[in-house]
Structure 1
Amino acid sequence: MTDASNQGGLLDGVEAAAGISVSGAASVPGAADDRAQLVQAGVPGLLAAKDPTLWGPDAESEAKIRLGWVDTFRRSRDLLPELAQLREELADLTHVVLAGMGGSSLAPEVIAQTLGRPLTVLDTTDPGQVRAALGDRLAQTLIVISSKSGGTVETDSHRRAYWQAFKDSGLDEAEIGRHFVIVTDPGSPLETVATEMGAALLLADPDVGGRYSALTAFGLVPTALAGVDVAELLDQAEALLPALGQDSDNPGLALGVALGAAAKNDGRDKVALIDDGTGIQGLGDWAEQLLAESTGKLGTGILPVVVESPDAPGASGEDVLSVCLGGALAPGTVPGGGIQPHAAVNGPLGAQFLTWEYATAIAGRIIGINPFDQPNVTESKDNTKHILESGLPDEGPSVTDGAIQIFGDVATTVTEALRDLVNGIDTAGYLAVMAYLDRHVDADAAKLRALLARAGQERPVTFGWGPRFLHSTGQYHKGGPQVGSYLQITGVVNEDLPVPGQPYTFGTLQAAQAAGDRKALADRGRPVLHLHLIDRAAGIAQLLAAAKDLK
């Protein structure tokens, strides 16, 4: 970031259309040349027309079936009458729960939080968090099961658990089916399951990948059922689309060029995503999975780092592009703290979704990757499946320090282990904190991000709740630049929960997912510190205290 007294950055120019503005992007070194090349090649218009050749011959076959996001808002309008009718029929079910992972849950969470509608998002395998959801207003619960493939293990486990809970409450199968809404792609196994359950079925746009699916059924169904006027989001995206085919006054092009040029020309291959406090909540988490999973492959990529405020540790650095994002901030306004980001993106939520999707596709072209595949995502899933079949690894801690077990050949105290990990971050690297915990009860664990960033001489530090990050930054960890260091935190399960119809529990599944991901990272020779909390509350307090003590 630059000092607010510098008249560069945000004050260098604004590119706006349909209520959304991108400020400061033109100041990124190399952006003008990269943009000129894209314009000369006709890329803005070709992308708006869904040309699948823009990322080279190797990506063309994938792009042909993944560019529906450009105008999916048009097809999504066909859902609106069905959603209105469904909401009326299910008006007595006032507690909407969404079971989904990655793009199937992050966009709805942003929509519901930003527009002030209650939505419980279940994107975990933590037994305590799942049990709490099952015990919350079950009789009034409408559970939306969202999975593009229809085979997502977490979501299938949630479906089984809710079915059993309704059955145990005394409902018959017909009554149980009424409590379920299934969202999936045409032809997925969940189509058949929905019929067998007697559940409502809504099909998503098959030409849109999960992380680009905010304005498809995956983003719209749960939020409409929770009371959001989703037609407004579609209107906002539709108003923006004409600008995305233009060579100028094109916010998506400006943002995409800034992201790509910063990584390619200026060594800024990390982007700090900063909520500017102007009314859009959680957009950074959604943009994180979009950027990380789309660009982190073939040893390259753009690492998104969601930070708490403009002056938060890890929001600056020679290899970090800082971007503020939000709703109503006027162009050119400095978002607090006397610190000015490199760029700012402001505007209505529907247009934000389309702008970031377009920008990600543009950035992918500039850095030379296919922004629509995810070649490394299945690795940790395959490891998890193998562990569930063969059993959890027989490993014991090297030492126990207070409420925390330390695994591996590392220091004998938590403070020393954290210090060694932080001091070992590559000069061009980052630290990822991966917490397989309850993101509500154990929420204080997220405070580690800022503390470790401060201790790590402002190196970028990300924080992700497991297993949800496996559906977003997990791709970047394996496919992106191999410069990451990793802190994995697991916790004791005092009361496990069975997955009905499966030979494992939620606790076993959670442990297998953590072990599978550890293996994937360790196989790459990357530093992985595994800490296990034998008392969650005490262990988190001890971790925070140790992180504060780091010098």
Structure 2
Amino acid sequence: MSNLEVLPVGAAADAIERHLPELVQDNVASRLFAQDATLWGKDAESESAKRLAWVGLAESSRPLVAEIEDLRKSLQDKGVSRVVLCGMGGSSLAPEVICATAGVPITVLDSSQPDMVRASVQEQLDQTVVVVSSKSGGTVETDSQRRAFVDAFEKAGIDPTERIVVVTDPGSPLDEQSRKDGYRVFNADPDVGGRYSALTAFGLVPSGLAGADISTLLDEAASVTERLGADDDSNPGLRLGAAIGGTQPLRDKLVFVDAGTEAVGFGDWVEQLIAESTGKQGKGLLPVVAGQASVDTDGQTDDELVVHLTSGDPGTLSGDAVAVSGTLGATFLLWEVATAVAGRLLGINPFDQPDVESAKEAARSMLESGTGAVDDPAFTDGSIEVRASGDFLGSASTAADAIAALLREVPKDGYLAIMAYLDRIADRSLADVRQLFVRSLHRPVTFGWGPRFLHSTGQYHKGGPEFGVYLQITTEPREDLSVPGRDFTFGDFVAAQAAGDAKVLADKGRPVLRVHLTDTEQGMSDLTQAIRTATSSHAGSQGGS
């Protein structure tokens, strides 16, 4: 059923040849599927001991299928067919991939940007069911989104308990309060971390309610469980883990290219899994989601490994690369195994995220103090306010000058991260600027929508190797939106998240350029032109094209 294949060339093939015998000899696969918490060293044992139940989800999640299908039918009988998912990181990324791949609509609200929240709340409310997903039950973004929907339902004369479904860990604050208030609650397995939760209630409830075939998804994972748990040279999980985590010298930039995969948006899911799992203790693997673009693989550098995501024959591979194919349920499990194996080879704990909380704490502090992003800009260029952490601006007096100055800070083994705190639906064209930077820098460039990337690459930015530079883009909302029952607005919140993230990066000595658009439409135009000017001049100064 799965046709799971891992085909390596170059450094990836060498890494498999080098590490696979030891992985097999150490019984890593069978120990992983026996939930052996000692695989990642003594310091990791306490965390890994409560984070390994994902290896058996293909069977343990099976009872959810009928429950979800019954609820979906009940909702459809009432004319409720639009599904909105409120969640962050591991609670939202897998359902987005599952539904896109299945071709069924779902609205994923993983933002505190007020324009995006408002659009989700106002659309077809009379036909909407909202899935509120939070493992901890205390995620501020998700709680704020929940409050907005409760308020909207009540104002529309709709009982929120009939339209909001909660997914959370048993015993969480959200679990206890939701049950008390009469909401339908699905509990996820508490021994599965968020980014490994694709086949738990977090992935299955919203996907199933939207109409995806979640039973087949579990079948696909079940069909490869025995193969992935075997201490055998042909084990694709061991092979892939060795390929991504065992190259020498380490190709620590993983460039994901859509080479014909049927799994729509899979790179965004695997980006979080790898970045948050490995980016710590000054180590890590940086996933670079390149989509179908080939510009990222032109002139491949010696610290990059190209990962071709396919649904069959990848064709001729060259350079240092690995091609991965398989059905969606199978590849979810494959990449989870491979990431756990890579963590062992890298010498890190793949189940904690020590630096994620720092940005949350900084945002809370700024929200409580009301400081947000009110520090004076270094200068203003039309609709763009420019701020910088570090002394790299020099004599820059335009946005283009400032961006060019930031590009000069990218080290030869470094990368540029673009972090856009905008409406990722309405402003999605902004993501196209990534290609301009790639062509100019000839270095890895990531693009993340804030605040969702804080639960993904945000861990790598702060805990990984110190060779990143950061371009943060924020904007004035077209119209702010209050958070019901709170003394702050969504606009206040997203500004505090952006400012808090920039502060944590700056405190760690990372170069951060912050550009704030005082008018979204004009600012987007001005910023795009500034980026074109800066990348063109940088390419010229480097002899690029």
TM-score (norm 1): 0.93
Separation (CA, whole Å) in 2 of partners of 1:509 and 1:533: 17
- SS across alignment from 2:375: coil
Cα deviation for residue 197 of structure 1 reads 3.3
Structure 2 counterpart of 1:357, from 327, 336, 351: 336
- Which one of 104, 120, 136 corresponds to residue 107 of structure 2? 120
1:96 match: secondary structure: strand
State yes or no: 1:170 paired with 2:157. yes
Q: Secondary structure at the match of 2:403?
A: helix
Q: SS at the partner of 2:237? A: helix
Structure 1 letter corresponding to 2:346: I
Query: Do residues 250 (structure 1) and 229 (structure 2) align?
Result: no
Identity of aligned residues (%): 51
Instruction: Say whether residues 1:317 and 2:318 are aligned partners.
Output: no
- Does the alignment pair 1:279 with 2:262? yes
The SS at the match of 1:71 is: helix
Contact 1:26 1:258 in 2 (8 A): no
1:49 aligns with 2:29: no
Q: Are the aligned partners of 2:20 and 2:233 in contact in 1 as well (CA < 8 Å)? A: no
In the alignment, the residues of structure 2 paired with residue 449 and residue 110 of structure 1 have an alpha-carbon distance, to the nearest angstrom, of: 22
Deviations 1:192-216 (A, max 9, x none): 2222332111000111000000000
2:315 is matched with which residue?
A: 333
2:252 to 269, 274, 277: 269
Paired position in structure 1 for 2:348 = 369
How far the C-alpha of 1:310 sits from its partner, in A, is 5.1
Higher deviation after alignment, 278-287 or 95-104: 278-287
Deviation at 1:318, TM superposition (A): 1.4
CA distance in 2 between partners of 1:167 and 1:76 (Å): 33
Q: Give CA-to-partner distance per residue, 1:476-532, whole Å, 9 cap, x none.
A: 011111111000000012311000001100000000000100100000111000000
Aligned length: 524
Regions of 4+ moved over 6 Å: none
SS of the residue aligned with 1:146? Answer: strand
Instruction: Pick which of 414-423 and 541-550 moved more.
Output: 541-550
What is the deviation of 1:164? 0.3
2-structure distance, mates of 1:214, 1:112: 12
CA contact (8 A) 1:272 1:321 kept: yes
The corresponding residue for 1:93 is 80
Question: For residue 307 of structure 1, what is the aligned residue in structure 2?
Answer: 290
- Cα 1:527–1:27 change in 2 (3 A) is closer
Tell me, what secondary structure is at the counterpart of 1:186?
coil
Aligned to 1:14: none
Q: 1:131 aligns with which of 118, 126, 135?
A: 118
**Does the 8 Å contact 1:310/1:341 carry over to 2?**
no
- Aligned: 1:36 with 2:21: yes
Structure 1: stretches of 5+ with no match in the other structure: 1-16
Structure 1 letter corresponding to 2:315: T
Structure 1 CA distance, aligned partners of 2:260 and 2:493? 37
**Alignment pair present for 1:148 and 2:170:** no
Choose the corresponding residue for 1:288, options 262, 271, 278. Answer: 271
User: Hey, what does 2:378 align to over in structure 1?
Assistant: 398
Asked if the contact 1:52/1:63 (under 8 Å) is kept, the reply is yes
Partner of 1:11: none
Partner of 1:422: 407
1:517 aligned to 2:501? yes
Structure 1 residue identity aligned to 2:249: D
Amino acid at match of 2:280: K
Q: Distance in 2 between matches of 1:124 and 1:249?
A: 41
Letter in 2 for 1:62: E
Aligned to 1:9: none
Structure 2 unaligned residues grouped into runs of 5+: 540-545
1: CA distance, partners of 2:260 / 2:530: 30
In the TM superposition, residue 329 of structure 1 has moved relative to its aligned partner by: 2.2
- Structure-2 separation of matches of 1:523 and 1:537: 32
The superposition leaves residues 175-207 of structure 1 with CA deviations (integer Å, 9 ceiling, x where unpaired) of: 221000000011111112222332111000111
The answer to whether the 8 Å contact 2:228/2:236 transfers is: yes
Q: What are the Cα deviations for residues 327-375 of structure 1, in whole angstroms up to 9, with x where unaligned?
A: x222x5248xxx7761111110000100000000000000100000111
Match of 1:202 in 2: 186
Residue 37 of structure 1 deviates from its aligned partner by 1.4
State how far apart, in whole Å, the 2-side matches of 1:229 and 1:65 are.
29
Give the aligned residue type for 1:404.
I
Is the 1:72–1:216 contact (alpha carbons within 8 Å) kept by the matching residues of 2? yes
Is the 8 Å Cα contact of residues 422 and 455 (structure 1) preserved in structure 2?
Answer: no
Q: Identify the match of residue 457 of structure 2 among 458, 473, 484.
A: 473
Matches within 5 A, 1:5-24: 18-24=2-8
For residues 359 and 205 of structure 1, the distance between their equivalents in structure 2, rounded to whole angstroms, comes to 21
**Contact 1:290/1:360, CA 8 A, preserved across alignment:** yes
The verdict on how the C-alpha distance between 1:109 and 1:341 changes in structure 2, with shifts beyond 3 A counting, is farther
Output the CA distance in 1 between the equivalents of 2:84 and 2:2: 32
TM-score, L = length of structure 2: 0.94
Q: 1:413 aligns with which of 398, 402, 406?
A: 398
Q: Is the 8 A contact 1:307 1:314 kept in 2?
A: no
Letter matched to residue 74 of structure 1 = E
Q: Amino acid of the residue matched to residue 447 of structure 1?
A: D
1:219-254 Cα offsets, whole Å, 9 max, x none, are 000010001110101000000011112212211111
1:26 is displaced (CA, Å) by 7.6
Residue type of the alignment partner of 1:422: L
Shift of 1:547: 2.3
RMSD: 1.5
What is aligned with 1:260? Answer: 245
1:5 alignment counterpart = none
Q: SS state of the match for residue 499, structure 1?
A: coil
8 A contact 2:255–2:296 mirrored in 1: no
3-state SS of paired residue (2:38): coil
Any idea what SS the aligned residue of 2:36 has? coil
Q: What is the aligned partner in structure 2 of residue 4 from structure 1?
A: none
Partner of 1:3: none
Post-superposition offset of 1:308: 2.6
Aligned: 1:160 with 2:147? yes
Alignment check: 8 A CA contact 1:96 1:143 kept:
yes
**Amino acid of the residue matched to residue 37 of structure 1?**
E
- Give the letter for the 1:364 counterpart: G
State the partner residue of 1:12: none
Query: 1:50-99 CA deviation, whole Å, 9 max, x = no partner?
Result: 21111011111111110111111211001112112111211121100000
CA distance in 1, matches of 2:142, 2:496: 16
Q: Tell me the secondary structure at the aligned position of residue 35 of structure 2.
A: coil
Which residue in the other structure is 1:7 paired with?
Answer: none
